[in-house]
């Protein structure tokens, strides 16, 4: 596992925080685990779409 020595500060609405907290509790994980894990999954999907599109554009 990579060393976690960087941080990102995010501002959210009270409603968003309440939702994130509820889902994290239901899953039995921390809000940080929920947000970081979900964000990483989304970013990897987006990257795959972008790189896949570039490959199609380049004719690879």
Q: What is the pLDDT of residues 7-49, one digit of tens each?
A: 999 999 999 999 999 999 999 999 999 999 999 999 999 999 9
What pLDDT is stored for residue 25 in this prediction? 98
What pLDDT is stored for residue 55 in this prediction? 62
Helix (H) or strand (E) holding 42: helix 31-58
Dist. CA 24–CA 32, nearest whole Å: 9
Region of 10 on the Ramachandran plot (φ > 0 left; ψ -120 to 50 alpha; else beta): beta
Kindly indicate the confidence band of residue 4, based on its pLDDT and cuts at 50, 70 and 90.
confident
What pLDDT is stored for residue 11 in this prediction? 96
What pTM did the predictor assign?
Answer: 0.74
């Amino acid at each position: 596992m990579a060393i976690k020595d960087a941080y990102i500060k995010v501002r959210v609405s009270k409603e968003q925080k309440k939702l994130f907290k509820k889902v994290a509790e239901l899953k039995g994980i921390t809000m940080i685990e929920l947000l970081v894990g979900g964000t990483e999954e989304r970013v990897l999907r987006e990257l795959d779409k972008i790189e896949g599109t570039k490959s199609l554009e380049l004719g690879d």
